[in-house]
Structure 1
């Protein structure tokens, strides 16, 4: 892969970061939400990763994002999630239909017309994108039976704000090298060097083998999850412990046995980023064994906390270089860190 290392100042300097973010998000995909957030016609979901500026709507024949700001005095319109055919502003009762068309302006002296901003979305295996879908063939990649939301439901959303650059988060996500040293539970659950990579212009994929001995000593959270996994699969354990798909510039689709996770990390200036994590579970098995999903989520969050420590180590070292006016770059391992090289290649402008 041909890539340039991001300059150290891009992790700390606002102008450099802004230019890089503009390039990356114009080049890459823009995730809006998932169809399972709005499972019925006329259901809506306010989108936290878009600062609740937009609401995701199921229109019955498609999915839109609709402005969540009133045309009159810019009041916020909807909160949370629900189902409605009519959007009524609480402040002055201006009313809109589910398409965003202005329908009523009670007690207002002059007749008004207009419509809320609206974008139609592209549906790709249940994930909804603005502008276009990823150029990523799940069947050809051997992922169609894994990245499959049939009979799943949207269970929960977790948001975490971090004190480091958005690239730092992604770099840790895209390499398995640190698993051996930073993740005492995860390194027993998966076999980090049993790794299959796939790459495309829009994505990279890591398929990671399941650990060879799930009875080995591990952390309490992984002990609970691995016991639940062994019970669930009763001697017929899955080939992989995890599949981590990354769609440039910031979208992660993760498979674990019986669990799908979609997360998106957003820059917040050079020194902060926010990650929104969506959990999806199969309806029937969740109803039967909710404790399985509690155990899996606890293990997942344990790993997320350890990743935050890893990212902070990178941030501190690079900050020392930045404050000293120095640039230093080490090698990227062609196997365990191949995803990092792919991400850097994506960030490298074409000559």
Structure 2
């Protein structure tokens, strides 16, 4: 949730956020369109998509596995929680997996998912491959008793077994399952109007969206939500200056502390990317807020100690419209 550093200081404040706030407090935002574009490039990058590290063949296999209803114990598959019509998420407050088992946290989108520092809200999954492998035994996912049990199911399906063997010398393994699924997700890349703006097309954003971009930066949102995904590259305490539960009406979630055991990680979460926020309500780690405008107001209050005007809120919403993009055609069952 910072520009240059992932260090979290006492109280959950990142060093990068402090530096960003200090910088924007002494250097006014540029007034000209070209200068705004340069400011945006410095904060959010070039607008270019990340280089793909996997092959189309692996991605094609991953797409088949992603939607296959035969692998999960009750027909549940990755596509159950990641729908094209829901922006690559599921529209629920929290995930729902095999046998209707309710997860604890909100489902993130898988579209434009790289690069991030880790998977899940608390960073308890190191990579997409790690997430895919561990989903085989996770209750709010495939819910198999063991990885071996899940792999045995896949090996017993001739068409899948053949496809694994054609791609990998060692056939069906947990590692290859992870490679294929991560390859598929890595290929779910979109281009937004904001990407085109960052690439140099000054006309890609409307006047209202440019005003929203200024407001987003000037308010301090970009101190955490920066980079191509507008987040996803750091951790931050939810509720730096105010108790978030007072505004969301939800119960405390100790966040990353449950994973690390460190008191300093209480209520710390990975900064969620905002790239497809318009399409992926409800919001926050527990899906406790249904409307984007309310989520924006709450974040300003509990993270930055600011009360936004209605005009500023609408401006930020307009900017976030420019950051989203149509869902990839590949996010459908093949």
TM-score for the superposition, normalised by structure 2:
0.28
Higher strand share: 1
Higher helix share: 2
Greater Rg by CA: 1
TM-score for the superposition, normalised by structure 1:
0.27
Higher relative contact order (CA 8 A, sep 6+): 2
